[in-house]
Structure 1
């Protein structure tokens, strides 16, 4: 029952993100807005990490399975992707490097703020 409550809390933030996107007309996906709202709720201690810890661990442990449908979708569109593989490869490489850099910078910033 505890894990269902935690899942409901995560889904609430997903729904809140989608509602915010619809109401505001912003072009950011509702899932991203929901994650930002969840992050802000955790940072402001509106919710505690313990309130979502079990479901978060479960989802992270099974994350690979969530990518299977996307991989199958890519394989079914291989003819379209095959024509422009080089730009796609460059975009994936650049965005991966950018994400790793921004993540590292963010972790360093949060560590510095945490030691104050």
Structure 2
């Protein structure tokens, strides 16, 4: 388990180094995750080594959200005073993301020549 976690963290570190060294707009953990996905798709041995640890982490993923919940409770007065503005911002940004995603999908579908019945 420790070896598999070390491999996962090494990919994250490599992504962080590449991101910072290359002054890339992508976060290092995202680059590390892309590298890990590529490595897992290429190597069956690596996939079998990491699988049990990854499944264990995924089964306990909800525990990683506890600090965020504590942060929300700790800043309850701020949320109470700015709650309406935050709510509006969340709704508007969500709707905007959905619209932009749909428009982008439609644009790419037309670009590659996909038909509606495909």
Listed one character per residue, the Cα deviations across residues 26-83 of structure 1 (whole Å, up to 9, x for unaligned) are 1111111110110111122285311101110111011001011122223415247512
Q: 1:49 aligns to what SS in structure 2?
A: helix
Instruction: Tell me the residue number matched to 1:49.
Output: 47
Q: CA RMSD in A?
A: 2.6
Relative to structure 1, is the Cα distance of residues 95 and 45 closer, same or farther in structure 2, using a 3 angstrom cutoff?
farther
Q: Which runs of structure 2 are paired with 1:1-116 in the superposition (5 Å)?
A: 3-45=1-43, 48-75=46-73, 76=75, 77-79=78-80, 82=83, 83-92=85-94, 95=97
Q: How many residues align?
A: 97
Q: Distance in 2 between matches of 1:18 and 1:9?
A: 14
- Bigger RCO of structures 1 and 2 (CA < 8 A, at least 6 apart): 1
Higher alpha-carbon Rg: 2
The runs of 5 or more residues in structure 1 that have no matched partner are 103-116
Q: Distance in 2 between matches of 1:52 and 1:30?
A: 20
Q: Residue 95 of structure 1: CA displacement?
A: 5.0
Q: 1:64 aligns to what SS in structure 2?
A: helix
Q: Distance in 1 between matches of 2:98 and 2:63?
A: 21
User: If the length of structure 1 is used for normalisation, what is the TM-score?
Assistant: 0.69
The runs of 5 or more residues in structure 2 that have no matched partner are 106-118
